Amino acid sequence: MPELPEVEVTRRSIAARLQGARITDVRCGKPLRWPLGIAPDRLVGSRLGEVARRGKYLWLPLQRELAQAPTGIDGGLLLHLGMSGSLAFHDAAAEPGPHAHFDLGTTQGLLRLTDPRRFGAVLWSDAIDAAPAATLLARLGAEPFDPALTPQVLHAACRQRKVAIKTLLLGGQVVVGAGNIYACEALFRAGIDPRTRCDRISLLRCTRLLAALRDTLGRALELGGSTLRDFSDAHGVAGAFQAEALVYGRVGQPCLRCGATVRRIVQAQRSTFFCPACQRRG
């Protein structure tokens, strides 16, 4: 599923083109996870501001242009790509396929949300700090590159929990963005067994883990994210991070660092890949 790097890559691929564009048409297809929450035609005439990201959500701010058009509305759209969603620009005349569930027609082109599994969402909110946007975003942990997220903060959060560190990373309540592939890779780089209980991880190891997570996510952003199945940015460019994975997807193969056999276990209903020699619980 699209994780933080893929969502940020998507944001970068649509932001410049959408900023300042005026909405000309809105089409809703089959229902997504939640209803839009506003009549689609009320969005027509609004101008799009700077696209932002929080966790795996995208925020498209809208502003009404009273002087030029009496239509439109202030507020914004909160988007989530779900398990299989993607955004891409299309020709305005392009017919929607069976999995095209939301079209945003603008003066800069048609932006289409395609989501085969329909776990994604497009939600109207009066503001990013108003419900429903604020309610959904309030559940998220710190952004991984936020300077306020220090090793001490991470360590304090770990001390209060008794779950496995991999489970904590996937949960997103402490830090967002560590999806399955990136959690596996970061834990490998930090030398931490994914089964290690959070409250048993020292400050030194939290320092290494935070640095490894930032390095992993930063490299993923450089490479356009990961394309395990069909992810691509809004211009159709696939990600390449998966080609550099050191443990993810390499079960039964030799560890690239020590030569031991990479193992696979299941945690929180997700596959975990790790090297039992390089990654220790102690």
Q: What are the tens digits of pLDDT across the range 100-122?
A: 999 999 999 999 999 998 999 99
Name the CA radius of gyration of the chain, rounded. 20
pLDDT confidence of residue 229? 64
Annotation marks residue 254 as catalytic: no
| Helix or strand run (H / E) with residue 181 | helix 180-190
pLDDT confidence of residue 68? 57
Topology (CATH) of 151-274:
Helicase, Ruva Protein; domain 3 (1.10.8)
Residue of 3, 6, 8, 185 marked active site: 3
Indicate the pLDDT class of residue 1, thresholds 50, 70 and 90.
low
Annotation marks residue 56 as catalytic: yes
Residue of 22, 56, 112, 189 marked active site: 56
Region 63-82 average pLDDT: 83
Q: What tokens does 209 get? A: 């883990």
Indicate the pLDDT class of residue 67, thresholds 50, 70 and 90.
low
The string of pLDDT tens digits covering residues 219-258 is 999 999 887 666 776 777 777 898 999 999 999 999 999 9
Residue of 17, 161, 197, 270 marked active site: 270
Indicate the pLDDT class of residue 92, thresholds 50, 70 and 90.
confident
pLDDT confidence of residue 7? 95
Q: How far is CA 271 from CA 3, 6, 122, 212, in A?
A: 15, 19, 29, 20
The Cα–Cα gap between 125 and 171 comes to 25
Between residues 71 and 87, which one has the greater pLDDT? 87
Residue of 2, 61, 144, 194 marked active site: 2
Indicate the pLDDT class of residue 26, thresholds 50, 70 and 90.
very high
Burial track 62-87 (b if 16+ CB lie within 10 A, e otherwise): bebeeeeeebbbebbbbbbbbebbbb
Length of the chain: 282
| Helix or strand run (H / E) with residue 186 | helix 180-190
Cα 86 off chain centre by: 11
The residue type at 233: D
Shared fold status for 4-137 and 151-274: no
* CATH number 3.90.1150.10 given to 4-137: no
pLDDT confidence of residue 240? 85
Could you tell me the residue ranges of all domains in the chain? 4-137, 151-274
Region 151-162 average pLDDT: 97
Annotation marks residue 270 as catalytic: yes
